[in-house]
Amino acid sequence: MSNVRTRFAPSPTGFMHVGNLRTGLYAYLTAKSQGGQFVLRIEDTDQERLVEGAVDVIYRTLGRVGLEHDEGPDTGGPYGPYVQSQRLETYRPYAEQLVKEGKAYYCFCTKERLEQLHEQGFGGYDRHCRDLSQEEVGRLLDAGTPYVIRQKVPLTGSTTFQDAVFGEITIENKEIEDQVLIKADDYPTYNFANVIDDHLMNITHVVRGCEYLTSTPKYQMLYEALGWEQPTYIHLPLIMGRNEDGSTSKLAKRHGSTSFEGLVEDGYLPEVITNYIALLGWAPKDNQEVFSLQELVENFSVDRISKSPAVFDYDKLNWFNGEYIKAMSDEEFRAKAMPYYKEVFGDVEKPWEVLDTILRARLTKFKEIPGLLGFFKELPDYPTDFFVNKKSKTNLENSPKMLEAAIETLEQLPVWELEVIHEAMINLAQKLEVKNGTLLWPVRIAAAGTLVTPGGAMEILTLLGREEALDRLRAGLSELA
């Protein structure tokens, strides 16, 4: 086992956005591709943003995607608790230590004062309490004045850090405000808790979205103030969506579903979503595109993460889903298709393998099944000119003849099975001295009442069953008479 340790640190705010899930996946892959450990930590210190049930969404999603954590709130581990709200007493001592060392200070500014500053157009905090005398601080504390603890950010110089993806980044210290570490309600700020926890949990590689890139100098300053070694930073590129005019902008609802659950509901298989988002910012060495989670672990490497924005392409996702469906085992296909078959056929038993075969090659999503098979449930009203087809050489004169002959032949079949129907129809076409299509086009139209069907005439007849099939052919014939 290597000493690489990564963490996924979601805030329970509701849905699992694909960007979040990608962060989790890349953190998992960064650890697992190097034989390391993957930790789940729930960052719930921002109580205002909490959404009920959101932690369950996190567990459920990770479970469905297969990102098993080695340590976390449910599995436990040596560095727990793994939920920030359960380790609140952890943070303050570090802030107090910084105060003692002159690297942080108590700030007694009221909300009103800060609001005023803001109204006056002052960006950030004016460091009003940074240089209060010891006595003044003592007096205010004794009087029970509420306060926050702020970091004393150096006023000059610059802060530089290395990011494994974005390279070296430098920011002038004067750009950074004296950030709050402990809030008036005794809660740590997100930025502070995050650094303390990453350190205490021995996290070696911090994987997160690039929206955190600008906060990283603040983290860096905290590591420096605390005298701690920094983790390796791996910031991930933005995820964009394609707009109607072809331009791209940050992925948003108007582009399509943006959460794992939304995509599952849209009919994408969890493993497809995982496979696809693995490629949003990471490029494999060769042209392979279809990866199981295990294959991702075997192939992933941080140095192939790109900093250019990735575009979430729903067409590509459809393609992936179709590929996964084609490659599925027969059993898995049947299991996933069956609920939809039942929706169409109720409890009636059908030769399901006939359906499996005609659907597998053309399905993009399983949820398309009821729509594709709707004509089985009820024969649509269709115009007689559906019988006219140039390529099959059918028209309104020969179609009734074909139907009549087909009905006569089918009525005599001893069993109603695909092979038997198939042979009978081919023989009949030969006997009538017409192309197979000339016979089968009108049969399929009368059987399905629709121009485009999954499967051909014989599969449809088979699935309809003898009685219903013959009824429909007779109905077609009477329409033409």
Give me the least distance between CB of 237 and ligand GLU, in Å please: 15
Sheet holding 104-107, edge to edge: 104-107, 148-151, 180-182
Instruction: Tell me the catalytic residues.
Output: 253
Query: Do 444 and 453 meet the contact criterion of CB atoms below 8 Å apart?
Result: yes
Degrees to nearest 5, angle at CA 99 with 95 and 102: 135
Does residue 11 bind ligand GLU (CB under 6 A)? Answer: yes
User: Whole-number minimum distance, CB 190 to ligand GLU, in Å?
Assistant: 7
Cα radius of gyration rounded to whole Å, the chain: 33
Under the binding rule (CB under 6 A), the answer on residue 12 touching ligand GLU is no
The binding track of 155-194 with respect to ligand GLU, each residue x by CB under 6 A or -, is ---------------------------------------x
Q: How far apart are the first and last CA of the chain?
A: 79
Residue 9 or residue 107: which is nearer to ligand GLU going by CB? 9
43 binds ligand GLU (CB under 6 A): yes
Contact range with ligand GLU by CB under 6 A, out of 4-12, 71-79, 108-116, 177-185: 4-12
Least separation in angstroms between residue 198's CB and ligand GLU is: 8
- Binding part of the chain for ligand GLU, among 3-11, 49-57, 230-238, 439-447 by CB under 6 A, reads 3-11
Indicate whether 234 belongs to the interface with ligand GLU (CB under 6 A): no
Structural contact between residues 41 and 74, judged by C-beta atoms closer than 8 angstroms: no
Q: Which is nearer to ligand GLU, 236 or 443 (CB)?
A: 236
The token pair at 11 is 């805030």
Among 10, 36, 231, 456, binds ligand GLU (CB under 6 A): 10
Taking the complex as a whole, how short is the minimal distance between the CB of residue 451 and ligand GLU, in angstroms? 50
Which part of the chain contacts ligand GLU (CB under 6 A), choosing from 9-17, 226-234, 265-273, 309-317? 9-17
Written as one string, the DSSP assignment of 55-92 is HHHHHHHHHHHT---SBBTTTB-TT---BGGG-GGGTH
Nearest to 363 by CA among 388, 332, 393: 332
Give the pairing of strands 205-209 and 232-236: parallel
- What span, in angstroms and rounded, lies between the C-alpha atoms of 383 and 84? 66
Tokens describing residue 120: 């006056």
Helix axis angle for 418-432 and 457-464, nearest 10°, is 130
HSE, side-chain direction, 13 A CA sphere, residue 62:
27
Closer of 103 and 218 to ligand GLU (Cβ)? 218
**Tokens read off for 241:** 């969506």
Cα atoms in the 13 Å half-sphere on the side-chain side of 380: 17
Q: How far is the CB of 287 from ligand GLU (least distance, A)?
A: 31
Q: Are 212 and 11 within 8 A, CB to CB?
A: no
Coil, strand, or helix at residue 150? strand
Q: Annotate each residue in 208-227 with x if it binds ligand GLU (CB under 6 A) or - if it does not, as one string.
A: x---x---------------
By the rule CB under 6 A, 363 interacts with ligand GLU: no
Answer yes or no: are the C-beta atoms of 370 and 340 closer than 8 Å: yes
Where are any strands of DSSP class E within 81-231?
Answer: 104-107, 148-151, 158-163, 167-172, 180-182, 205-209
Restricted to residues 133-162, the positions that interact with ligand GLU (CB under 6 A) are none
CB nearer to ligand GLU: pick between 32 and 208: 208
Q: Which is nearer to ligand GLU, 207 or 457 (CB)?
A: 207
Regarding 58 and contact with ligand GLU (CB under 6 A), the answer is: no
Measured from the CB atom, the residue of 30 and 462 that comes closer to ligand GLU is 30
* Binding window for ligand GLU (CB under 6 A); candidates: 7-15, 247-255, 423-431, 472-480: 7-15
Min dist CB 27 to ligand GLU, Å, is 8
Specify the residue, 14 or 322, whose C-beta has the smaller distance to ligand GLU: 14
By beta-carbon proximity to ligand GLU, the closer residue of 23 and 398 is: 23
- Contact region with ligand GLU (CB under 6 A), list: 6-14, 123-131, 140-148, 402-410: 6-14
Length of the chain: 481
Per CB under 6 A, does 22 bind ligand GLU? no
Non-local (6+) Cβ contacts of 21 within 8 A are 61, 65, 260, 273, 277
Q: Are 366 and 337 in contact (CB under 8 A)?
A: yes
Question: Does an H or E element contain 236, and which?
Answer: strand 232-236
Q: Of the candidates 4, 5, 6, 9, which one interacts with ligand GLU according to CB under 6 A?
A: 9
Shorter beta-carbon distance to ligand GLU: residue 117 or 302: 302
- Total residues interacting with ligand GLU, rule: CB under 6 A: 7
258 sits near ligand GLU (criterion: CB under 6 A): no
Query: Using the rule CB under 6 A, is 230 a contact of ligand GLU?
Result: no
Residue 266 CB, shortest distance to ligand GLU, in Å, is 24
Contact 69, 62 (CB under 8 A): yes
List residues near ligand GLU by CB under 6 A: 9-11, 43, 194, 208, 212
